Amino acid sequence: MTTPTPNRITRFEALVAQFPTSEVPRYSLGQALMDAGRYDEAATTFVACTTLRADFLMAWVLAAQCFVRLERWADARNYAVKGLALAIAQGHSGPRGDAEALLEEIEQAGG
């Protein structure tokens, strides 16, 4: 992971403000927030990405990861299930494995 810095977050916040309808800077902001351990804000940012572009596979998977960290099991499951479905539909084995691992983690946690 990249070392989190306030400047990195600030830079991506500015890009989100400049391009509010683009999922790309928002996704980068979510990654920066996640790297900084700000999982609630990161989850909100990734959810916004999925609203802007419903087939944005990695936004679904990373939102699920954030929700797992926050122990928001129902949200984690919903986003992981959608991420898994997109990974299968898009033929991406790496994210498919990530989504499957998240679902297993959620199940083990009783969520």
pTM recorded for the entire structure: 0.92
d(CA 85, CA 99): 9
pLDDT under 70: residue ranges of the chain: 1-5
Let me know: does 16 contact 26? Beta carbons within 8 Å. yes
Cβ atoms within 10 A of the Cβ of 81, count? 16
Tens of pLDDT, residues 5-35: 679 999 999 999 999 999 999 999 999 999 9
Domains located in the chain, CATH noted: 6-108 (1.25.40.10)
